Structure 1
Amino acid sequence: GIQAQTVANFYLAFEAQLAIIPVINKIDLKNADPERVEKQIEKLFDIPVDECVRISAKKGTNVEKVLQKVVEKIPPPHCNTADPLKALVFDSTFDHYRGVIANIALFGGEIEKGHKIVSAHTKKRYEVNEVGILTPNEQPAHKLYAGQVGYLIAGMKEVTEAQIGDTLFLYKQPVDPLPGFKSAKPMVFAGMYPVDQTEYNNLKSALERLTLNDSSVNVHRDSSLALGAGWRLGFLGLLHMEVFNQRLEQEYNMSVILTAPTVPYKAVLSSAKLIKEYGKKEITIINPAQFPDKLSVSEYLEPTVLGTIVTPQEYIGKIIALCQDRRAVQKDMLYIDEHRVMLKYLFPLNEIVVDFYDALKSLSSGYA
């Protein structure tokens, strides 16, 4: 049936005014009940039952119907090849031989090898060495045109030169930068230190190489009286932090000490001296050691999360108690069908970042 992430992603797409194609997968399973899921989709999202496509990705059943729906429902890009080049950078990776590979979406004009381009963000100039499409592997092409999505290699040495949300345009043909989109914002911070301080430079080198391929990791130098010199790293979430740490161990053979994760807080300062020192009234705190004296602060602000929980109805009491214990505020409660309930809560991020998911699974025997 419908999962919590289905609900969250539906509303993200709905708010962005995107075309939505409801697809019910795994119809080949013995316990599949597509009729029940169609009723849930109609009740939760107000999408008529006859618009749902039943498929089995494993067996390939009805997959061609999804492709037909994509052609029918998703509108073509509104852009013109006669316009000046306007390319949005939406991702980038690093290749040790070819340098930075920027993934781009063209909103105007065309681009090919030899073109001289400029970054609206850094104002740096580059010559295009290669363009191509993603299939999903990189496949070189002679040109990319407005409306296409592809990749570009232009002699950029660092991923920071291909900022997500940046606009690229032709040299001497400046354009207004695209509004871009919100780049990923770190929401979980942890200290990272080498087990042995003699390994500091090796860890520094490994971090530099790993962050070239993961620009969403935020890195600040840090030091601790107990652990020595290290870094304060910002991650998108707990899983992101675990994967990053695993890659350090497996790909670079580094053993590190990772402190317990924390979330960023904001402090609204009341002390004129501190406001002058920081140059602003509201500061963001990513390290617990940086908290200013509470006498100098008028209020603290913490990040919150709107969480959606889908659970069998017999576990409702335990889950409500768990949420209340984590300082959560109930926003909504809806019966999806006669067996399952959807709960919406506003949580302080700090209360759920470490072990909430495990506690939820334990309380509900793995069903919520």
Structure 2
Amino acid sequence: MSTDRSKIRNFSIIAHIDHGKSTLADRLIQRTGGLTEREMSQQVLDNMDIERERGITIKSQTVRLEWKGYTLNLMDTPGHVDFAYEVSRSLAACEGALLVVDAAQGVEAQTLANVYQSIEHDHEIIPVINKIDLPAAEPERVKAEIEDIIGLDASNAVLASAKSGIGIEEVLDAVIDRIPAPGGDANAPLKAMLVDSWYDPYLGVMILVRVMEGVLKKGQQVKFMQAGTTHLIDRVGCFRPKLTQLGELGPGEIGFVTAQIKEVAQTMVGDTITDAKKPTATPVPGFKEVQPVVFCGLFPVDANDFEKLRESISKLRLNDASFSFEMETSAALGFGFRCGFLGLLHLEIIQERLTREYDLDLITTAPSVVYRLQLSKAAGEAEAQVIELHNPADMPDPNRIEEIEEPWIKAVIYVPDEHLGAILKLCQDRRGIQKDLTYVGGRAQITYELPLNEVVFDFYDRLKSISRGYASFDYEQIGLRAGDLVKMNILVNNEPVDALAMIVHRSQAEARGRHMCERLKDLIPRHLFKIPIQAAIGGKVIARETIAALRKDVTAKCYGGDITRKRKLLEKQKEGKKRMREYGNVSIPQEAFIAALRMGDES
């Protein structure tokens, strides 16, 4: 029998990275007796090594807790902007949220982004000021910040320290007292939202669901409304945090189901699950297909590892349907895959998981975004074409391109006053348009519109190094805009190197090209002939460096005699070098590629 609705509370925890969200989740599980002391480990809900090492949550997790006769469903959500859609679906499954703010750091950019999403879902938000036992803690200042920046009443904020276990019971009581019980009619047709899914090697795809209306039972035939597929439910349950099987899930409850599904790609986050025989009339609102934003090529360092890479990527895709891949070949790097990711952190995580879990050495080409190209009408075509470009090497003939559009973002940066000038210069250099600059306490809040192309390289790293780690950054996409963009080729010995091609803004092409040529000059070893390295836009060379030839001493065997003998030998060598330059092959070592691609944008 499903739980009494008035005794259910569904809530999530929202916070900026490193404000103690996962530690608070641990304490709540421990205090409600979800796990014994012996079974506890740090960051119970972060079960990937990478999550624990970096202190970030990548996959949202859920756990059912019992406290004073109430059932509390806790959704631990990712805090990073790359996973914003996952966060929005997790928030849609709840009625309230704990807003965790570090008592020393105060409100930061991602706290804001997720709080606004939570407010849009009409949530009851409980501020929790964490880490109050730190020497640098200033709970009163942080309360004032929450009221000034977010506009939430923080007078009854819960003061806590998740690490020391202070205020944990107060947090649980606040959840019961202040978060409303879920609605929903048990007799209505089944309507459940698919919050998340992952692959379990024993049970197949496990699906996290929030039942809105009706009842979800074992043995029921269900339909996924967006995917259009039907499945038979063979297991229903919840996590406490250990997997517990149940007979059914009623309205307002959060749990998991399995239905012998083999691929995560069939279970789209945000989909509506309904009864196949008696479907609901309207799906849960807010569904959208996740689109990759950043693309890059992944190539094995050792060409023999290609099959292993194919297998590993396919296995990872079982667990993470939000990245896409297709095969591609490069003259310089051989066979590999062009992969699409939700953002830079997502790219790093997938790359790191491939390296660690599957023991692969990879080369990653410079990340690029999706451009939209308006082409002029070709002979015999009824209308002009619009194409999407994922890989700069596939750029069509420039004469046919009418316009190139690139994605733009709106970025909100929080930074202490002393670093403001350097941050503004960084944004200006990256073609940013300043929209707003306000002060909150002792920190500046800057709003900029920036091209995503300028952000995907190393913007975040530069931001952190300029501000000594104090700046926090959050962004959202605001659509496509036309720009004066060109494809820049790198030619080594007059041969274009496809893996180094990139799309840049015309105003920055020369600086970027010169920088790349200088770097390659240091990386490519000298040969017996001169090697020109050029950066070119179409047929126009915009930067050039020359690697000097190694010189073999051909006159060593002449011990004297007439100068004409030496000259004859030198002339002969000159002829040979000329011929060599025409036909000689330049071998670019793998390390040079890796270094050039990795540091592609430190101009």
Q: Which digits, 9 at most, give the CA deviation of each residue in 1:151-184, with x for residues without a partner?
A: 1111111112222222222232233333352343
Give the TM-score normalised by the residue count of structure 2. Answer: 0.57
Measured in 1, the distance between the counterparts of 2:126 and 2:325 equals 39
Residues 183, 58 of structure 1: alpha-carbon distance in 2 compared, 3 angstrom cutoff: farther
- 1:75 correspondence with 2:180: yes
Structure 1 SS opposite 2:427: helix
Structure 2 Cα separation of the partners of residues 280 and 16 of structure 1: 42
SS at 1:253's partner residue? coil
Query: Which residue number in structure 1 is paired with residue 321 of structure 2?
Result: 215
Matched residue SS, 1:11: helix
Distance 2:179 2:385 in 1: 46
Partner of 1:39: 144
CA distance in 1, matches of 2:109, 2:271: 33
Provide the residue aligned with 2:293 in structure 1.
Answer: 187
Are residues 55 and 183 of structure 1, via their aligned partners in 2, closer, same or farther at CA, if it must alter by over 3 Å?
farther
1:281 deviates by 4.5
Distance 1:273 1:349, change over 3 A: farther
Question: SS of the residue aligned with 2:137?
Answer: coil
Q: What is the one-letter code of the residue matched to 2:347?
A: M
Matched, 1:355 2:458: yes
Letter in 1 for 2:328: D
SS at the partner of 2:431?
coil
Q: 1:256 to 1:78 in 2, by over 3 A?
A: same
Identity within the alignment, %: 42
Matched, 1:140 2:260: no
- Aligned to 2:403, the other structure's residue is in SS state strand
Q: Secondary structure of 2:288's partner?
A: coil
1:82-123 deviation per Cα after TM superposition (whole angstroms, max 9, x unaligned): 011122212111112211111111122112221122232343
User: Residue 449 of structure 2 aligns with which residue?
Assistant: 346
1:162 is matched with 267
Q: 1:324 to 1:275 in 2, by over 3 A?
A: farther
Show the counterpart of 2:307. Answer: 201
The answer to whether the 8 A contact 1:138-1:151 is kept is no
Q: Distance in 1 between matches of 2:327 and 2:211?
A: 37
SS in 1 for 2:369: coil
Return 198-207 or 181-190, whichever deviates more. Answer: 181-190
CA distance in 2, matches of 1:306, 1:195: 36
CA 71–185 in structure 1, closer or farther in 2 if over 3 Å, else same = farther
C-alpha distance in 2 between matches for 1:49 and 1:33: 14
2:457 maps to amino acid = V
1:120-152 Cα offsets, whole Å, 9 max, x none, are 234333221101113344321111112111111
Q: How far has the Cα of 1:42 moved from its partner? A: 1.5
Aligned 8 A contact 1:271 1:297 in 2: no
Question: 1:317 is matched by which residue type in structure 2?
Answer: G
Contact 2:227-2:267 within 8 A present in 1 as well:
no
Aligned to 2:434: 330
- The partner residue of 1:290 within 394, 397, 400 is 394
2:233 corresponds to which residue? Answer: 128
Report the secondary structure of 1:185's partner residue: coil
Aligned to 2:210, the other structure's residue is in SS state strand
2:102 is matched with none
1:48, CA displacement in angstroms? 2.8
- 2: CA distance, partners of 1:273 / 1:85: 54
Distance change (3 Å), C-alpha of 1:225 and 1:87: same
Whether 1:314 aligns to 2:440 is no
- How far, CA to CA, are the matches of 1:362 and 1:256 in structure 2? 26
CA offset digits 1:279-306 (Å, max 9, x no partner): 9853322111233333333322212222
After superposition, the CA RMSD in angstroms is: 2.2
Work out which of the two has the higher radius of gyration on C-alpha atoms and give 1 or 2.
Answer: 2
Determine if the alignment matches structure 1 residue 56 to structure 2 residue 134.
no
In structure 1, the residue matched to 2:278 is 173
1:88 and 1:180 in contact (8 A); partners too: no
Question: Which has the higher mean CA deviation after the structures are superposed, 222-231 or 29-38?
Answer: 222-231
Structure 1 residues 73, 98: closer, same or farther in 2, change over 3 A? same
TM norm structure 1: 0.92
Question: Does the aligned pair in 2 maintain the 1:235–1:241 contact within 8 Å?
Answer: yes
1:89 aligns with 2:194: yes
Q: What is the CA-CA distance between 1:18 and the residue it aligns to? A: 2.8
Cα deviations by residue, 1:233-256 (Å, 9 ceiling, x for unpaired): 111222221221121122111222
- Bigger mean CA offset, 197-206 vs 26-35: 197-206
Runs of 4+, deviation exceeding 6 Å: none
SS of 1:324's equivalent in the other structure is helix
For 1:16-31, list aligned pairs within 5 A: 16-31=121-136
Q: Which amino acid aligns with 1:356?
A: F
Distance 2:115 2:297 in 1: 35
d(CA) in 1 for partners of 2:305, 2:295: 22
CA distance in 1: counterparts of 2:185 and 2:390, whole angstroms: 44
2:362 maps to which residue? 256
Q: Answer yes or no: is the 8 Å Cα contact 1:100–1:155 preserved in 2.
A: yes
